[in-house]
Amino acid sequence: MNSLRNVLPKTLKQLGLINQFKAESVTLNWRQMVGEEIAAHTRPGRVRRGILNVSANNAVWAHHLSTLKEEIMDKINAFMGEKVVTEIKFQAGYFQKDQNENNIENPEPPVPRWRDARLEERELQDIDQMTADLADNQLKKKVKTILVKEYSLRKAKRQHNWQACPKCGVLVTPQESLCSVCSIEEHQGQVDAVRKYLIHAPWLSYEECNRYIACLRTDFNTVKNELLDKYWREVEKDDADRMKIMTLAMLIHGLQPHALTEELIVKTLDKVRRKKHVFTSRR
């Protein structure tokens, strides 16, 4: 494949089109770029400023793929003939398909393909116009092909009642409210909010926290354990300040500051320091 760089056009308008072309190319040619096996477990998002967000169908795959990141980036960039992707973020996503795998009565409708829809003359003319400024004929042909595929795919999806993700505009199935990449981001936002809340009010139980921020019990527990761990390590240090010791005590006992007794604070400190002593003397 010829390098895109050699035929890259100069004007901004053309560059905008080229960037779209590159971003779409990665999504449309994903299977060819990364192979059947990886493609079966992943969904690529769009390339934004060189960063490609990829959702994997579970945490194991997200981890496995992150170890292959450089290799995958090389494959994509080799396919594209230039460095289109400089970073890939793999995240464990929520595949509608996985949740419905055992649902035999209600099988997932097949994902529309670009061949399922035909563009009208008017739409083809639009694409002709968009690419009219491209002087290089070889490039023009490539860009046109990608645009026709992309527009056809969007049309096919719309015909199957897919709708725009309200956050980023990518088309999603009628069952999904957000695209997989945005739903991961939203979930991450929720977890961050729970963390902030719990740092300010360490005594909160799941039920209390859930009244202010809708969250899953597993997320709450993960955040709480993470904070317990963090403050435990802080209090282990000899110069730990009183605020940190109190925070740890509130996390452990679920008590508000006014309910913490001096005795409880001393006990908490003793417990941490004693464990540290046992641990270090064992080594």
List interacting residues with Zn ion (CB under 5 A). 165, 167-168, 170, 179, 182
Nearest to 88 by CA among 53, 59, 55, 42: 53
Tell me the C-alpha distance between 205 and 4, whole Å: 56
- In the complex, the smallest distance separating the C-beta of residue 170 from Zn ion, rounded to whole angstroms, is 5
Tell me the C-alpha distance between 40 and 234, whole Å: 43
- In the complex, the smallest distance separating the C-beta of residue 107 from Zn ion, rounded to whole angstroms, is 25
- In the complex, the smallest distance separating the C-beta of residue 166 from Zn ion, rounded to whole angstroms, is 8
- Say whether 171 sits in a helix, a strand or coil: strand
Q: Based on CB atoms, which residue is closest to Zn ion, 183 or 268?
A: 183
Q: Based on CB atoms, which residue is closest to Zn ion, 124 or 168?
A: 168
Q: Based on CB atoms, which residue is closest to Zn ion, 53 or 247?
A: 53
Q: Based on CB atoms, which residue is closest to Zn ion, 130 or 164?
A: 164
Q: Based on CB atoms, which residue is closest to Zn ion, 139 or 181?
A: 181
Give the helix/strand (H/E) hosting 164: strand 163-164
Give the helix/strand (H/E) hosting 163: strand 163-164
Give the helix/strand (H/E) hosting 158: helix 137-159
Q: Which residues pair with 92 in a beta bridge?
A: 56
Residues 55, 92 contacting (CB under 8 angstroms): yes
CA distances from 75 to 41, 49, 78, 269 (A): 17, 18, 5, 53
Tell me the C-alpha distance between 204 and 258, whole Å: 14
φ, ψ (nearest 5 deg) of residue 256 = -75, 160
- In the complex, the smallest distance separating the C-beta of residue 194 from Zn ion, rounded to whole angstroms, is 22
Q: Based on CB atoms, which residue is closest to Zn ion, 76 or 182?
A: 182
- Say whether 276 sits in a helix, a strand or coil: helix
Q: Based on CB atoms, which residue is closest to Zn ion, 52 or 165?
A: 165
User: Exposed, middle or buried, 138 (CB in 10 Å: 0-12/13-18/19+)?
Assistant: exposed
- In the complex, the smallest distance separating the C-beta of residue 56 from Zn ion, rounded to whole angstroms, is 16
Q: Based on CB atoms, which residue is closest to Zn ion, 170 or 249?
A: 170
Tell me the C-alpha distance between 254 and 260, whole Å: 10
- In the complex, the smallest distance separating the C-beta of residue 180 from Zn ion, rounded to whole angstroms, is 8
- In the complex, the smallest distance separating the C-beta of residue 227 from Zn ion, rounded to whole angstroms, is 30
- In the complex, the smallest distance separating the C-beta of residue 165 from Zn ion, rounded to whole angstroms, is 3
The arrangement of strands across the sheet holding 87-92 comes to 42-48, 51-56, 87-92
